[in-house]
Amino acid sequence: MPLLLEGELVRFARDSREGYGKKVRAMKLDKISLTTFREHPLQPDPLLCPGGQHWRWNGMHHISTVRLPGGRWIAVVDGKGNSLPDRRAE
């Protein structure tokens, strides 16, 4: 679902050009109607991308945001990686 941020519609889009769910980009909606859809990335780099932690080593493919009372934001993200490490020996 798009967010209204400072008068602009923004959506988070999964970037699968390098494989399913590798990155998430913030996209500004330039035009949306029944016949037209146009958007562009808000920044050249992805908002979320693979990293060193086991839970996101192979990609990031979802973000859900919630605006809290007072204007602060929180987000939940979904990473693509291995299962949780075995901690039985610790």
83 has a pLDDT exceeding 70 = no
Q: Are 11 and 32 a contacting pair, CB within 8 Å?
A: no
CA 21, CA 79: separation in Å to the nearest integer?
Answer: 9
Q: What φ, ψ does residue 46 adopt, rounded to 5°?
A: -65, 155
pTM over 0.85? The answer is no
CA 77, CA 59: separation in Å to the nearest integer?
Answer: 11
Q: What φ, ψ does residue 2 adopt, rounded to 5°?
A: -65, 150
Q: Give the domain ranges of the chain.
A: 3-79
Quick one: pLDDT at residue 86? 54
89 has a pLDDT exceeding 60 = no
The pLDDT tens digits of the residues spanning 12-63 come to: 988 877 777 778 889 999 999 999 999 999 888 888 777 777 777 777 778 8
Tokens of 57: 């080593």
